[in-house]
């Protein structure tokens, strides 16, 4: 997996994960990489800063930012990723239909016009998800495992 900083022609910046550099190139060429803010498919890689891990012996300390006066150091908290993922999950579950393990077939039916167009989420095998992408069906992996709904 590789994470890229991306930007669209409108200047929006966002990050996204890809299976490989080749996967990004293939999806971008097919117009399947879209801006997370405006939906534009004119997206390119942005300049990224490298991520360097400290030595194992180094103690981790909060990152500090010095104000212009240089008198006080302010600790900057890390973003609360768990809170963001919980909110994303809530929005997905409220605004789309859970189709379970039928995700690949249902997504294909929607793409072909055989089922009503709507937002769906569910589960798919990796090879089924790849086939959808290769066939031009717009899908994206979720950063969480859907909770199975049972009646």
pLDDT digit string (tens) for 87-101? Answer: 888 898 899 999 989
Tell me how far apart the alpha carbons of residues 125 and 71 are, in angstroms, rounded to a whole number. 55
- The residues near 74 (Cβ < 8 Å, ≥ 6 apart) are 64, 65, 66, 67
Q: Which CATH class is domain 1-51?
A: mainly beta
pLDDT digit string (tens) for 39-53? Answer: 888 888 888 766 677
- Segments in 96-135 forming alpha helices (H): 103-112, 126-134
Enumerate the domain spans of the chain: 1-51, 79-151
pLDDT at position 96 is 92
Pick from 143, 133, 130: which is nearest to 92 by CA? 143
- The residues near 22 (Cβ < 8 Å, ≥ 6 apart) are none
Q: Are 40 and 10 in contact (CB under 8 A)?
A: yes
- The residues near 90 (Cβ < 8 Å, ≥ 6 apart) are none
Pick from 143, 146, 103, 134: which is nearest to 16 by CA? 143
C-alpha distances out from residue 16 to 24, 49, 69, 70, 97, Å: 10, 15, 36, 35, 24
Pairing of strands 97-100, 120-122: parallel
Positions of the chain with pLDDT lower than 70, given as ranges: 49-51, 55-79, 146-151
The structure's pTM equals 0.46
């Amino acid at each position: 997996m590789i994470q890229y900083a991306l930007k669209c022609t409108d200047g929006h910046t966002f990050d996204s994960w890809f299976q490989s550099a080749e996967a990004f190139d293939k999806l971008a060429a097919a117009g399947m990489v879209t801006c997370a803010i405006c939906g534009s498919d004119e997206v390119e890689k942005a300049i990224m800063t490298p991520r360097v891990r400290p030595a194992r012996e180094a103690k981790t300390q909060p990152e500090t930012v010095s104000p212009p006066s240089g008198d006080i150091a302010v600790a900057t908290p890390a973003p609360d990723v768990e809170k963001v993922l919980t909110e994303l999950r809530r929005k997905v579950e409220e605004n789309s239909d859970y189709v379970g393990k039928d995700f690949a077939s249902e997504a294909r039916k929607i793409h072909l016009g055989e089922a009503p167009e709507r937002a769906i989420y569910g589960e798919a095998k990796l090879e089924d998800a790849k086939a959808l992408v290769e066939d031009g069906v717009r899908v994206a992996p979720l950063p969480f495992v859907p909770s199975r709904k049972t009646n």
